């Protein structure tokens, strides 16, 4: 398998276990600017992200497990995983593209969720050093018809630490037949440190003036609606609380990379800044953890992606990918400490 030998600064792959079918799983460790990140080839999982608090103390700020078996035994929360082919839901497990109808597994009530029964979160990805240094490039091939999706899809996701310690995930995909693609990372953030308790007291700002209204199965029911005057208005920073599993329509649209969200932990002084090229972001407050060591509400997912059920909604930004086209997307997670979140979401020195 590519990338099983150490190569490049801060990159140390090691075998740490095996997938259920016996395929070896490796872990890559990236270090730069005081940030340390661990990535598994199983599921492309972001296993840990260690960043300093306002006193300089390191802590892992994403939820996860110490070994591969933990992720295999507790798959449903998708801890830290790369999600595809289609992140979020496809209503009724079916969609029509270019006049052809495709049927997908219904693994979330009546809908297909996160790519079906065996999405990219359960695949072992190939790995090699990223060309830009301080990173690892994961890749896989999803064959035509896998989980009902058309086309042979070649996918890569590159985890890289930038000069300031920010973590960038860059996605790329090409296909040999018309298909749909929606990729994201499903990390749960707790800036006090994984296992420290609830994250509902974190302060959140989301640069979104609209959400997609959802039915009881979390499928959009109509065009985006304004957040003004509702519990979904995070345009000014406030405590996250609980009870969210909703898609926010980012103000930037698909026009380019800009700040989508800022998450701040008053206890540690840590701040997470999420920048993305995606038009949407799913806020999930982890209220339905039903297995593993974590209790409901101990982590907050900020999933940058296209909107749920876009293949069935021509009024939403398109997720179609055709031969000759290249899907690209990027999300960056920036880390800072010792600066409280100001009224507009910008960092201000902690008194």
Active site residues: 186, 303
Beta carbons of 159 and 136 less than 8 angstroms apart: yes
Residue 84, SS3? coil
Sign of the Cα torsion 112, 190, 197, 25 reads: positive
Report which of 179, 159, 170, 178 is spatially closest to residue 85, judged by C-alpha positions. 179
Helix extents (H) in the chain:
68-73
Peptide bond into 232 cis (omega under 30): no
Query: 200: left (phi > 0), else alpha (psi -120 to 50), else beta?
Result: alpha
Report which of 233, 187, 238, 232 is spatially closest to residue 214, judged by C-alpha positions. 232
Residues 330-342: b if buried by 16+ CB within 10 A, e if exposed: bbbbbbbbbbbbe
Sign of the Cα torsion 342, 345, 346, 350 reads: positive
DSSP 252: T
Report which of 95, 121, 260 is spatially closest to residue 183, judged by C-alpha positions. 121
C-alpha 202/C-alpha 257 separation (Å) is 24
Residue 122: partners with Cβ closer than 8 Å, 6 or more residues away: 19, 43, 75
């Amino acid at each position: 398998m590519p990338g099983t030998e150490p190569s490049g600064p801060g990159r140390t792959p090691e075998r740490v276990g095996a997938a259920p079918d016996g395929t070896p799983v490796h872990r890559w460790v990236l270090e730069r600017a005081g940030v340390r990140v661990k990535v598994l080839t199983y599921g492309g999982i972001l296993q840990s992200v260690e960043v300093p608090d306002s006193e300089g103390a390191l802590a892992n700020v994403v939820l996860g497990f110490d070994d591969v078996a933990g992720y295999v035994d507790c798959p449903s929360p998708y801890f830290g995983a790369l999600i595809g082919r289609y992140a979020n839901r496809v209503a009724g497990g079916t969609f029509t593209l270019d006049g052809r109808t495709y049927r997908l597994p219904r693994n979330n009530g009546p809908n297909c969720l996160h790519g079906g029964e065996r999405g990219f979160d359960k695949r072992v990805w190939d790995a090699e050093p990223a060309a830009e240094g301080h990173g690892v490039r994961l890749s896989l091939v999803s064959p035509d018809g896998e989980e009902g999706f058309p086309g042979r899809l070649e996918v890569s996701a590159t985890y890289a630490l930038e000069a300031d310690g920010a973590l960038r995930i860059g996605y790329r995909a090409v296909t040999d037949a018309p298909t749909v693609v929606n990729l994201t990372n499903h990390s749960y953030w707790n800036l006090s440190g994984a296992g420290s308790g609830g994250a509902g007291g974190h302060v959140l700002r989301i640069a979104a003036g609209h959400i997609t209204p959802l039915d009881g199965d979390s499928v959009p029911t109509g065009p985006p609606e304004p957040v003004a005057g509702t519990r979904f208005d995070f345009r000014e920073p406030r405590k996250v609380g609980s009870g969210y599993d909703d898609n926010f329509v980012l103000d930037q649209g698909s026009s380019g990379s800009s700040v989508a969200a800022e998450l701040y932990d008053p206890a540690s002084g840590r701040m997470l800044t999420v920048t993305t090229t995606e038009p949407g972001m799913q806020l999930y407050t982890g209220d339905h953890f039903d297995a593993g060591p974590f209790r409901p509400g101990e982590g907050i997912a900020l999933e940058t992606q296209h909107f749920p059920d876009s293949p069935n909604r021509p009024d939403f930004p398109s997720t179609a990918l055709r031969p000759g086209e290249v899907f690209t997307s990027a999300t960056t997670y920036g880390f800072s400490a010792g600066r409280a979140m100001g009224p507009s979401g910008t960092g201000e020195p902690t008194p």
